[in-house]
């Protein structure tokens, strides 16, 4: 640090540098010696004094001569010294500023280190104008959504105040958590700054160091790194106690110190300090103060030792044994054990002095009611405490009412108070999704925002568990952009099986002092099986309801019969149905072995998640078969499945394969596939639908019924025939539970709506398998496989051209995945036929070869799609450059293009590419070419591979907002779906948000749905919102999620007079008109005269002037004094000054 400071404006390159040469001492020039001797000689008339005076004058002349020579030499030496010093100091003033990185937990000596550093530098005569600390987490909370690269420099500039500064940036993890890439860029800028003099000390955990090593290894190499101690280690706690005792003049013997150090259960220095303070207070109260020194002894720390023993709680082994004793929850137990192992290893690494990654301990607990989420949360709190992750481990259970206030200003205070009660332990937020009931729930959103701040403020001593239904919890996480990243993961609590519910019933009965008779134990499985699994099903609570019903019936029986056995429950005590607690070469083709079928599955291209799900089903069925063979009971499972995905994703193929697998595993007798659509199930006349559906199900009995586009069964609420088909289908699924599997398939959104069309549908399907779209590489693989299966070979040039041909397959409404690949192959085969027909002498071995020229379109690429004729990137950029004016717009568009191309290069090189929002805001007055530029950008992004088609769908408020409740969201969704693969251009977007006094504006609903669609189609939809600048700012502030969704704002300036004149000229030329020389010269003046008020519309105003000028020319040429037939073509197409004057 001293060397750096010496090399900058703090000093010089080599310490203090060489001293300047000393200036020679000037001889006495006052002549006092000569005057005294001369006076004495004159007054005394002494010859001796005269001689002395003369000698003195001679000596002074020699001294003056000697001094003048020495002074001249000194001047030369000093000039040379100045040159050397100037060269040396100039070489040393331009040096980058260093960083110090303190790696460790919070409150482990960062401020003490920084103060000591400042004092040490001051001792070496290196001073700073300012030395301050700032908390990065608090900084983020203060600046809100402002980027890191804005908030941090503002704080540093304020600290420096134009001078030099030493500063400690505390909790840098918060900056990396918000924007790691932006933080790295910021640090690079400061590291390269050679014009300022600052010393920044960074305080971060191991996670920060790991991120810097990954993303900025060059920065790490030049940082001075210090690993801070952890004071939950006795040796380091003892060292700190020595320091603190010395500073406070406490007497602390080594044996007392060591006992006290062993009590420090947290890494923070504050814990050690608190222990010493408590011991000193005990010593003072005991009177252990000989003189002015407090002597701390063993009696003073005994209360602390005793308290620590009481806090110890259960051991890890006892807690895990309690976990294992819980019924069911196998996956939950595995996850808890995994978390426990992780924390145990962390503790061991910490004790060994090794680095430990900082992890978030916050968890989502998802599952239906009664699945022991609260119980497991309490157990986890105790485990966290036992492993030192939490000081207390207690659980504070809260819901919305505990966090959300009724009036403005209450919510933050209420949430903060709840968190304070949980500090040191676990905050268990049950039904967390209720915090944000809808988009207008400002109080709920305030609670979430405050919760995030408190989670950041208490990273070391608070764990939050948020619990609820899986689907609703997903919606909850989307309510605030910071929520999802705060939770380390989710623990899914599955519903209990019937066997597990029976065990819970038995355990509860035993816990309440009841015994179960043999006949009740035999009847219990059937009673449990009949517990309704609908909306009211609550897992363990439902088992408790069943037990309570049995106890109630026992009471009635004993009262009626006068029995004396008060503790035994018998079968007759179980409720009957309707009472409380209980609800009322074959067709499949040649037989192949299970390994052959699974090999065919594995050979299919893509579909990784589908294969994994099918194999999971196979494993489940195989284990059931083994249990059945061993004479063990097997739970009855629903095998019906929902297949969701776009066309051509092999849903039918997989269905057929699963049917055959079920046959080989003994789940289905034949496993054949019957494929149907609406027309096969729904009749045209009353009374025909149910028999038609029944007949289809009977044909599929023993195998699989595959209903494609199942959502078409119920087209709307008035589709009674479709609803009848669904009702009959449910009946047949129940009647054929053992020998029929139903797969329903279709688009994801429509299938969700289909399941809501009948209350019994959703519960009948065991799960959902999502069939993703194929990637371009997978489509190329499908093309090759299809070609080979039809006896074709692919030439080397076609293989090279194929990826680009696949990439340019339009991904709009007509895209059909594998079928689109097949369509491309069929087009190539047609192209080959045309080529070979023109070459009759082609050798026979070339008849089966497809070449690049056979691919459709230029160079094997489709030449047109929804976005219009395809053009190369350079042509599109040339069109952009050819547009009049818009210099700032062109620069921004070119920057976006360059950024996209660079991303592609980085991706190709295997380098990390940051996720970017492509959505844009266009601001400007009407007629500034916003729509034209948007259309051009769609085509640019298509050619860059960012969008599949790049077509433009232009909409305004009427296209998105409905007139009645329930119309807006579907209307907005439909507009977005039309734009998928391209751009949605929302003109005058601010009109979406209008404040009507009667509250009838549905624009807010349109904005909310637009945000949902932007998130759902992040990869294949770009939204451009356009309008006036001020109004667009109001629009972006209308919804908390809007501003963050748009990556940039492109500003379209008004055209000046010369540009408007050029636009007028270009438009006239396109319509076949010419301007005479006078008009061309006068045209800018005419443009200057245009009314620039409310109705001014830039290019449109120029077009309006042109249209009026053309009408004026027509009136001039069609006047009574003009012979139309005598006019030549040149006169008919010439516009003059009078024409425009008349138009003005």
What is the per-residue pLDDT for 289?
Answer: 60
CB-count burial class (<10 Å; 0-12, 13-18, 19+) for 892? middle
DSSP letters, 925-968, are -TTSSHHHHHHHHHHHHHHTTSSSS--EEEE-HHHH--SSTTTH
The contacts of residue 1007 (CB under 8 Å, 6+ apart) are 992, 993, 1038, 1039, 1042
Split at pLDDT 50, 70, 90, the class of 311 is very low
User: Which pLDDT value is given to residue 521?
Assistant: 92
Cβ contact 1055:883 at 8 Å: no
Q: What is the dihedral of CA 843, 848, 849, 852, to 10 degrees?
A: 120
Q: Please determine, for residue 17, whether its predicted confidence score (pLDDT) is greater than 60.
A: no
Residue 142 CA to residue 136 CA, distance in Å, equals 10
Note the pLDDT tens digit of each residue in 184-230.
888 888 887 776 777 889 998 888 888 888 888 888 887 888 888 88
Q: Are 508 and 544 in contact (CB under 8 A)?
A: yes
pLDDT of residue 864: 44
Instruction: Give Cα separations from 900 to 274, 492, 895 (angstroms).
Output: 55, 39, 9
Whether the pLDDT of residue 679 is over 80: the answer is: yes
Half-sphere exposure of 13 (CA within 13 A, CB side): 12
- DSSP state, residue 497: P
* Span 547-560, pLDDT tens digits: 888 888 888 888 88
pLDDT band at 95 (very low <50, low <70, confident <90, very high): low
pLDDT of residue 22: 86
- The span from the CA of 551 to the CA of 564, in Å, is 15
If you average pLDDT over residues 457-463, what whole number do you get? 82
For residue 583, name the pLDDT band (cuts at 50, 70, 90): very low
Tell me the sheet residues that pair with 491.
365
Q: Which of 391, 349, 1, 54 is nearest to 197 (CA)?
A: 1
296: nearest Cα among 262, 245, 239: 245
Average pLDDT over residues 1077-1089: 86
Pairing of strands 1048-1052, 1022-1027: unpaired
**Mind listing the pLDDT tens digit for each residue in 774-815?**
888 888 999 999 999 888 999 999 998 888 888 777 665 567
1109 or 308, greater pLDDT: 1109
**Residue 692 reports pLDDT greater than 80:** yes
Q: What is the pLDDT of residue 37?
A: 63
- The SS3 call for residue 367 is strand
Longest dimension (CA), the chain: 161
- When computed from its CA atoms, the radius of gyration of the chain, rounded to whole angstroms, is 42
DSSP labels, 854-872: GSTTGGGS--EETTEE---
Q: What pLDDT sits at residue 136?
A: 87
Per residue in 131-143, pLDDT tens?
A: 788 888 888 888 8
Candidates 547, 546, 503, 509; CA nearest to 372 is: 503
pLDDT for 984? 92
Coil vs helix vs strand at 239: helix
Strands (E), 669-720: 673-676, 704-707
Q: Give the pLDDT score at 6.
A: 57
Task: Count CA atoms closer than 13 A to 172's CA, side-chain side.
Answer: 28
Q: Which residues pair with 1027 in a beta bridge?
A: 923
Q: Comparing 459 with 933, which gets the higher pLDDT?
A: 933
| Number of C-beta neighbours around residue 1043 at 10 A | 15
Each residue of 76-114: b (16+ CB within 10 Å) or e?
eeeeeeeeeeeeeeeebeebebbbbbbbbbbbbbbeebb
| pLDDT at 847 > cutoff 80 | yes
Name the band, by pLDDT with cuts 50, 70 and 90, for residue 586.
very low
List pLDDT tens digits, range 900-929: 888 777 776 777 767 677 889 999 888 888
- Residue pair 465/362 in contact (Cβ under 8 Å)? The answer is yes
Tell me whether residue 921 is exposed, middle or buried, using C-beta atoms within 10 angstroms of its C-beta: 0 to 12, 13 to 18, 19 or more. buried
Q: Are 1049 and 923 in contact (CB under 8 A)?
A: yes
pTM attached to this predicted model: 0.37
**Cα–Cα distance between 935 and 947 in angstroms, integer?**
13
pLDDT of residue 130: 64
CA pair distance 339, 378, nearest whole angstrom: 15
Minimum mean pLDDT range among 298-307, 608-617, 1045-1054: 298-307
Label residue 324 by pLDDT band (50, 70, 90).
confident
pLDDT at res. 39: 67
Question: Can you tell me the mean pLDDT for 628-648?
Answer: 80
pLDDT, average across residues 1103-1129: 81
Mean pLDDT across 669-694: 85
Give the mean pLDDT of the chain.
81
What is the rounded average pLDDT of the residues 724-741? 85
User: pLDDT at residue 91 above 60?
Assistant: no
Give the pLDDT confidence of 944-976 residue by residue, as tens digits: 878 877 888 999 988 988 888 878 888 898 888
The rounded percent of the chain whose pLDDT value lies above 90 is: 6
At residue 423, does pLDDT exceed 60? yes
What integer pLDDT is reported at residue 1003 of this predicted model? 81
């Amino acid at each position: 640090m001293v060397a750096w400071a010496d090399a900058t404006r703090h000093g010089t390159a080599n310490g203090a540098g060489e001293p300047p040469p000393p200036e020679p001492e000037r001889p006495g020039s006052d002549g006092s010696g000569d005057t005294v001797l001369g006076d004495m000689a004159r007054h005394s008339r002494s010859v001796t004094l005269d001689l002395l005076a003369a000698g003195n004058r001679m000596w002074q002349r020699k001294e003056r001569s000697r001094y003048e020579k020495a002074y001249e030499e000194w001047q030369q030496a000093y000039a040379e010294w100045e040159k050397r010093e100037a060269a040396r100091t100039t070489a040393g003033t331009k040096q980058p500023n260093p960083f110090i990185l303190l790696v460790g937990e919070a409150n482990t000596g960062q401020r003490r280190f920084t103060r000591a550093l400042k004092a040490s530098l001051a001792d070496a005569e290196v001073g700073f104008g300012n030395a301050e600390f700032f908390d990065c987490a608090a900084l983020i909370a203060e600046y809100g959504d402002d980027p890191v690269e804005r908030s941090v420099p503002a704080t540093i500039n304020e600290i420096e105040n134009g001078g030099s500064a030493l500063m400690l940036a505390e909790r840098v993890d918060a900056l990396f958590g918000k924007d790691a890439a932006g933080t790295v860029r910021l640090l690079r800028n400061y590291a390269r700054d050679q014009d300022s003099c600052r010393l920044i000390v960074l305080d971060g955990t191991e996670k920060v160091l790991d991120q810097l090593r990954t993303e900025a290894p060059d920065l790490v190499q030049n940082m001075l790194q210090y690993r801070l101690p952890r004071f939950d280690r006795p040796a380091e706690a003892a060292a700190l106690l020595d320091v603190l005792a010395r500073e406070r003049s406490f007497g602390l013997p080594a044996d007392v110190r060591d006992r006290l150090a062993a009590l420090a259960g947290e890494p923070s220095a504050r814990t050690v300090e608190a222990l010493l303070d408590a011991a000193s207070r005990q010593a003072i109260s005991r009177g252990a103060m000989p003189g002015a020194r407090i002597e701390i002894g063993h009696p003073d720390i005994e209360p602390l030792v005793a308290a620590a023993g009481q806090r110890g709680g259960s051991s890890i082994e006892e807690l895990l044994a309690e976990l294992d004793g819980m019924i069911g929850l196998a996956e939950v137990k595995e996850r808890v054990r995994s978390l426990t192992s992780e924390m145990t290893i962390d503790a061991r690494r910490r004790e060994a002095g090794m680095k430990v990654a900082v992890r978030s301990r916050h968890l989502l607990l998802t599952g239906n009611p009664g699945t022991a989420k609260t119980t497991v949360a309490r157990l986890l709190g105790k485990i966290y405490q036992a492993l030192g992750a939490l000081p207390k481990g207690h659980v504070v259970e809260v819901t919305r009412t505990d966090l959300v206030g009724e009036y403005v200003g209450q919510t933050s205070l209420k949430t903060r108070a709840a968190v304070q009660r949980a500090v040191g332990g676990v905050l268990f937020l049950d039904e967390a999704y209720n915090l944000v009931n809808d988009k207008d729930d400002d109080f709920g959103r305030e609670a979430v925002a405050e919760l995030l701040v408190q989670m950041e403020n208490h990273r070391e001593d608070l764990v939050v568990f948020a619990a609820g239904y899986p689907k609703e919890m997903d919606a909850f996480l989307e309510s605030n952009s910071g929520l999802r990243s705060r939770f380390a993961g989710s623990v899914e609590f599955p519903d209990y099986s019937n066997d597990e519910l029976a065990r819970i019933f038995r355990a509860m009965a035993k816990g309440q002092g009841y015994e179960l008779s043999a006949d009740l134990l035999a009847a219990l499985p059937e009673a449990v099986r009949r517990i309704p699994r609908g909306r009211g099903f609550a897992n363990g609570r439902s088992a408790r309801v069943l037990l309570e019903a049995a106890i109630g019936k026992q009471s009635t029986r004993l009262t009626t019969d006068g029995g004396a056995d008060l503790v035994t429950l018998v079968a007759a005590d179980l409720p009957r149905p309707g009472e409380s607690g209980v609800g009322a070469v074959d067709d499949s083709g040649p037989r192949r072995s299970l390994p052959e079928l699974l090999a065919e599955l594995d050979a299919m291209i893509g579909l990784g998640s589908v294969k994994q799900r099918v194999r999971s089903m196979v494993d489940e069925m195989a284990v059931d078969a083994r249990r059945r063979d061993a004479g063990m009971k097997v739970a009855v499972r629903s095998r019906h499945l929902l297949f969701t995905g776009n066309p051509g994703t092999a849903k039918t193929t997989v269905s057929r394969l699963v049917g055959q697998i079920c046959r080989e595993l003994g789940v289905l007798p034949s496993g054949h596939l019957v494929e149907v659509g609406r027309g096969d199930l729904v009749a045209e006349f009353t009374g025909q639908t149910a028999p038609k559906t029944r007949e289809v199900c009977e044909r599929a009995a023993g195998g699989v019924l595959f209903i494609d586009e199942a959502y078409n069964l119920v087209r709307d609420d008035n589709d009674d025939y479709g609803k009848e088909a669904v009702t009959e289908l449910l009946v047949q699924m129940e009647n054929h539970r053992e020998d029929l599997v139903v797969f329903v398939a279709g688009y994801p959104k429509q299938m969700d709506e289909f399941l809501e069309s009948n209350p019994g549908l959703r519960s009948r399907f065991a799960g959902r398998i999502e069939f993703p779209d194929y990637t371009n590489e997978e489509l190329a693989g499908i093309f090759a496989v299809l070609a080979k299966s039809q006896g074709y070979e692919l030439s080397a040039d076609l293989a090279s051209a194929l990826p680009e041909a696949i990439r340019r397959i339009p991904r709009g409404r007509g895209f059909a995945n594998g079928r689109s690949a097949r369509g491309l192959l069929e087009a190539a085969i047609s192209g080959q036929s045309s080529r070979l027909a023109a070459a009759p002498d082609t050798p026979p071995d070339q008849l089966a070869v497809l070449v690049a020229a056979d691919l459709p379109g230029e160079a094997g690429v489709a030449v047109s799609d929804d976005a219009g004729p395809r053009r190369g990137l350079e042509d599109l950029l040339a069109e952009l450059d050819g547009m009049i004016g818009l210099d700032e717009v062109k620069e921004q568009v070119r920057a976006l293009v360059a950024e996209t191309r660079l991303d592609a290069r980085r991706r190709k090189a295997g380098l990390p590419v940051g996720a970017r929002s492509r959505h844009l805001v266009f601001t400007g007055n009407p007629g500034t070419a916003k729509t034209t530029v948007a259309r051009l950008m769609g085509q640019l992004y298509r050619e860059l591979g960012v969008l599949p088609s790049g077509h433009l769908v232009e909409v305004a408020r009427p296209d998105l907002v409905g007139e009645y409740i329930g119309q807006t969201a579907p209307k907005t969704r439909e507009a977005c779906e039309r734009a998928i693969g391209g751009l949605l251009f929302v003109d005058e977007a601010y009109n979406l948000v209008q404040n009507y006094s009667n509250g009838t504006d549905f624009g807010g609903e349109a904005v909310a749905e637009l945000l949902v669609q932007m998130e759902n189609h992040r990869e294949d939809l770009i939204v451009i919102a356009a309008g006036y600048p001020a109004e667009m700012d109001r629009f972006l502030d209308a919804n908390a999620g809007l501003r963050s969704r748009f990556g940039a704002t492109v500003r379209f300036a008004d055209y000046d007079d010369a540009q408007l004149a050029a636009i007028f000229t270009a438009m006239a030329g396109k319509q076949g008109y010419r301007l005479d020389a006078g008009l061309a010269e006068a045209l800018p003046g005419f443009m200057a005269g245009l009314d620039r008020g409310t109705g001014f519309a830039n290019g449109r105003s120029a077009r309006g002037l042109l249209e009026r000028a053309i009408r004026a020319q027509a009136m001039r040429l069609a006047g009574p004094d003009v012979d139309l037939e005598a006019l030549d073509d040149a006169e008919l197409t010439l516009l003059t000054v009078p024409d425009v004057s008349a138009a003005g």
